[in-house]
C-alpha cells in the first residue's frame, strides 16, 4: 500500500493573521474604522482600526512638539518656605541631579523624560507628515522602526507620578505656586498619550509598504 503525499493548500500570508493570545489563525479581515477584530476562541483583540489615524496623529504630535520647549524649560513650580523661594524646570531637575553626584539617575531621567519623549514625537510627526503627503521611502520605514523601539522608553507619565508624589508630600511644608511649565507639561503628557492612542501601526506600516495614501 502506497501513501500519497498530502497536498498543502497554497497559503497567502497576507490573508491570515494569528491571534496574539492563543495563536489561532484567523482570516485577515479589514474592520471598519473604529471597529475591532476579536478572536472567537479567546476573545483577544486581534486588530483595531483607528479613525482618521494619520491626521489625528499629526495633530497630536504637532501640538506636543509646540508644547515641548515650554514644558522642559519653563519653571514647573515655585516652592515658598519661610520666605525662601525655590523654582525649577524639568531640565534643571536633570542637571541638578547630575551636579549632586547622582550621574546615573540624571542620565536615566534625561533619557526617559527629556530625550525619548522628544524623539518619539518628532519621529511620529515626520512619519505621519510624509504619509499625509503620500510619500514612502526606505528612510520612512527606518524612522518608524526606531519609533517602535523607542515607544517603551519615553516615560513622561512616570515623571508626572513622581511630581504628584512630591506635591502631596511637601504641600504641608511649603506653599506651592504652579507655573507655566507645569500646565505645559500636563499638555505635553496628554498630547504624547493621545498620539500613541491615535496611531494605527498596521495602517502606517501598510502605507509605508505600499507607498499609497
Interface residues toward Zn ion, by CB under 5 A = 19, 21-22, 24, 39, 41-42, 44
Q: Which is nearer to Zn ion, 24 or 186 (CB)?
A: 24
Q: Which is nearer to Zn ion, 39 or 76 (CB)?
A: 39
The least CB distance from residue 37 to Zn ion, in Å, is 11
What letter would DSSP give residue 157? H
Q: Which is nearer to Zn ion, 19 or 93 (CB)?
A: 19
Backbone angles phi, psi at 20, to 5 degrees: -70, -25
Name all contacts of 105-111 with Cβ < 8 Å and 24+ positions apart: 109/159, 111/153
Q: What angle do CA 32, 37, 40 make, to 5 degrees?
A: 145
The least CB distance from residue 16 to Zn ion, in Å, is 13
The least CB distance from residue 40 to Zn ion, in Å, is 8
Contacts for 166 with CB less than 8 Å, ≥ 6 apart: none
Q: Give the C-alpha separation, 8 to 31, whole Å.
A: 29
The least CB distance from residue 204 to Zn ion, in Å, is 24
Q: Is 151 exposed, middle or buried (0-12, 13-18, 19+ CB in 10 A)?
A: middle
Q: Which is nearer to Zn ion, 9 or 40 (CB)?
A: 40
Q: Which is nearer to Zn ion, 22 or 173 (CB)?
A: 22
User: Strand order of the sheet with strand 84-88?
Assistant: 84-88, 77-81, 175-178
Q: And the C-alpha cell for 112?
A: 526617559
The least CB distance from residue 38 to Zn ion, in Å, is 8
Q: Which is nearer to Zn ion, 24 or 107 (CB)?
A: 24
3-state SS assignment for residue 88? strand
The least CB distance from residue 12 to Zn ion, in Å, is 21
Amino acid at each position: 500500500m502506497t501513501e500519497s503525499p498530502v497536498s498543502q493548500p497554497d497559503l497567502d500570508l497576507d490573508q491570515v493573521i494569528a491571534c496574539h493570545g492563543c495563536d489561532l489563525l484567523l482570516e485577515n479581515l479589514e474592520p471598519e474604522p473604529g471597529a475591532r477584530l476579536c478572536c472567537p476562541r479567546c476573545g483577544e483583540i486581534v486588530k483595531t482600526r483607528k479613525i482618521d489615524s494619520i491626521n489625528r496623529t499629526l495633530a497630536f504630535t504637532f501640538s506636543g512638539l509646540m508644547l515641548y520647549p515650554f514644558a522642559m524649560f519653563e519653571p514647573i513650580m515655585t516652592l515658598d518656605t519661610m520666605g525662601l523661594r525655590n523654582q525649577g524646570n524639568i531640565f534643571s531637575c536633570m542637571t541638578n541631579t547630575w551636579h549632586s553626584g547622582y550621574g546615573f539617575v540624571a542620565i536615566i531621567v534625561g533619557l526617559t523624560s527629556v530625550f525619548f519623549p522628544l524623539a518619539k514625537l518628532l519621529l511620529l510627526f515626520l512619519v505621519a507628515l510624509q504619509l499625509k503627503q503620500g510619500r514612502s521611502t526606505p528612510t520612512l520605514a527606518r524612522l518608524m522602526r526606531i519609533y517602535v523601539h523607542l515607544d517603551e522608553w519615553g516615560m513622561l507619565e512616570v515623571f508626572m507620578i513622581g511630581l504628584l508624589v512630591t506635591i502631596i508630600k511637601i504641600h504641608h511644608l511649603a506653599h506651592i505656586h504652579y507655573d507655566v511649565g507645569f500646565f505645559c507639561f500636563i499638555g505635553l503628557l496628554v498630547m504624547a498619550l493621545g498620539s500613541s492612542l491615535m496611531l494605527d501601526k498596521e495602517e502606517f506600516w501598510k502605507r509605508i509598504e505600499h507607498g499609497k495614501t
